[in-house]
Chains A and B, each alone.
Chain A
Amino acid sequence: MDLLFRTAQSRSRVSPAFGLLRRHYWPVVEEKKPVNPEHTYIPVVESAEDFKYVQKLLPPIVAPPVPVQSLMNYPTPSGWIPAAPANSNAPYFVGRSRIHGLPVYMEVEKPSYTKKFTKIKKVQGDIWQFEKDLIDWLRPHSFDALVATQVSEVNREVRIKGDYMEHVKQFLLERGF
């Protein structure tokens, strides 16, 4: 990396380590040294029963399953609705996220942060038919009956210009996705 200004590191002509600006809150643990019988170590008691409390604290690797209470009584207080059992009639399928949410996201164009896009991910099957149905659904809600979309077939995404989050979510829930 070129240095356009002089710093303390450039004196020694080695590559500057900018990544070392890290605060340590914990003590730096020394490397393993041979055990010296002359040193006195604090006596320690091992306990395997208390390890179950540690296991409760460790984070799960996979999201836990949805409780039966929410699957029976929906929409839940926060408005969550589960996905309906899949039917093979539809030409497309939109999967849920890893935490069972609808894959509809808001994108904002940087650096102006003024242009908004609505993105629908995880669209499987005939994505072009999905785009057509989506445009027909959104046209009444758009300002000038035009819905600008961009389909990314390889990434299984459809992007719409503007903020259509709630309408898209309604579209997906009506179809049971």
Chain B
Amino acid sequence: MSGPKSTDLALQLLRKLPRIGIGNLKPLPQFKSKPYGRGPRNTGIDGGRNYPEQQKKGSQPPMGFEGGSSPYYTRHPVQWYYRDHHLKRQYPPLSMFSLQRSIDIGLIDASSPIDLVTLCNTQIYKIDPTQRHFGVNLTEDGLQIFKAKVNIEVQWTTEAVIAAVERNGGTITCAYFDPYSLAAMTDVKRFFEKGIPIPRRTLPPENCLEFYSDPKSRGYLADPAEVSRARVELAQKLGYQLPDLTKDPQYEMLTRRKDPRQVFYDLEPGWIVNLQDEVVLKPADEEVRQYYRS
């Protein structure tokens, strides 16, 4: 009795394998092409240029030397127009249209306060604190169709956006977060898994302290009384009826604000989150608590 032949086994295998394409074929080793311009000797770490005596005697070429061709770091001249670009803060934009769409399809819940954490959790908006992104810039695109009533906390916005949010009975605040806090907010799960205390937010740097203390831009450091006055003034300036927040059933939600040292709603700085055991660890030492609360 003969068993399955090699051809039968091959055909059985072929039935189960995925379709052949460019992406899942691999050449045999002898047909692999060699790196351009390099023979069998020059395919190592140093391209055959760094012979042993050179290392021993110290007669090596300068750092970045490319064997004679212009090194990369001297090829392009330094231009004055992009000076300090590496020091400037960036606020990746999020349009009001995008915000309204997210609320319409249920990605964002408008019945609780919206902040950068909520926006990053939707995964349709991302920022990278290591690239000098300092938060969300709510832009005017889609301002006319914006109908949601929200309590939103952003990092940069314009007067027209503030008016559009307040006209619908919502509130908007501009708050600053330092890169340490932003790294925690943009990827919350990763941060909690680290087991580091929730950071204490720092105050904004000098060149934007005025913006965040200005009631006109609804800064989080501004006097709340002046902010209320600015709301009325803006409504008069642009000619819309400002709804009365005190008569709103969602008044408490709309007036919720974070402390200037607080990063997450309902969680204080200094606390450690234990995701495994589902507990929150709070420091009991008075000195430590005073530090985090100052």
Instruction: Point out residues on A near B: beta carbons under 8 Å.
Output: 2-8, 10-11, 13-15, 22-23, 25-27, 29, 42-48, 50-51, 53-54, 56-60, 63-67, 70, 76-80, 99-101, 154
Contacts and interface: CB of A to CB of B under 8 A. Distances in A.
Contacts of A99: 105, 107, 124
Contact of B129 (A3, A25, A59): A25
A78 B285 CA distance: 51
B158 interface: no
Contacts of A25: 129-130, 179-180, 183
A25 B55 CA distance: 37
B130 A23 contact: yes
Contact of A64 (B107, B180, B278): B107
B38 A2 contact: yes
B265 interface: yes
A53 B198 CA distance: 14
B110 to A, nearest CB: 9
B142 A78 contact: yes
Given A5-B71, A26-B180, A58-B189, A46 B142 contact: no
A124 B283 CA distance: 57
5 contacts: A10-B50, A46-B281, A56-B265, A59-B123, A77-B147
Task: Pick the 3 closest A-B CB pairs, nearest first.
Answer: A53-B266, A59-B121, A76-B104
Q: Looking at B72, B192, B271, which has the most chain A CB atoms within 10 Å of its CB?
A: B271
Interface of B: 19, 35, 38, 42-47, 49-50, 55, 60-67, 71-72, 97, 100-101, 104-107, 109, 112, 117, 120-124, 129-130, 142, 145-148, 179-180, 183, 188-189, 191-192, 194-196, 264-267, 271-273, 275, 278-285, 288
Given A23-B130, A26-B183, A53-B266, A2 B279 contact: no
B180 to A, nearest CB: 5
A29 B194 contact: yes
A77 B107 contact: no
B121 A77 contact: no
Contacts, number: 160
B66 A42 contact: no
A7 B63 contact: yes
Contact of B282 (A7, A47, A60): A47
A44 B245 CA distance: 40
A81 to B, nearest CB: 10
B35 A70 contact: no
Nearest to A68: B106
B72 A5 contact: yes
B284 A44 contact: yes
Contacts of A51: 273, 278-280
A13 B188 CA distance: 39
Q: Looking at A4, A48, A67, which has the most chain B CB atoms within 10 Å of its CB?
A: A4
B146 A60 contact: no
Contacts of A100: 105
A114 B282 CA distance: 56
Contacts of B191: 26
Given A23-B130, A57-B188, A58-B188, A6 B63 contact: yes
A29 B191 CA distance: 12
B196 A26 contact: yes
Contacts of B64: 5-7
Contact of B47 (A3, A8, A60): A3
Given A5-B65, A47-B282, A77 B46 contact: no
Q: Looking at A7, A53, A100, which has the most chain B CB atoms within 10 Å of its CB?
A: A53
A22 B101 CA distance: 35
Nearest to A23: B130
Contacts of A58: 121, 188-189, 192
A59 B107 CA distance: 11
Contact of A3 (B46, B272, B285): B46
Contacts of A14: 45
Nearest to B265: A53
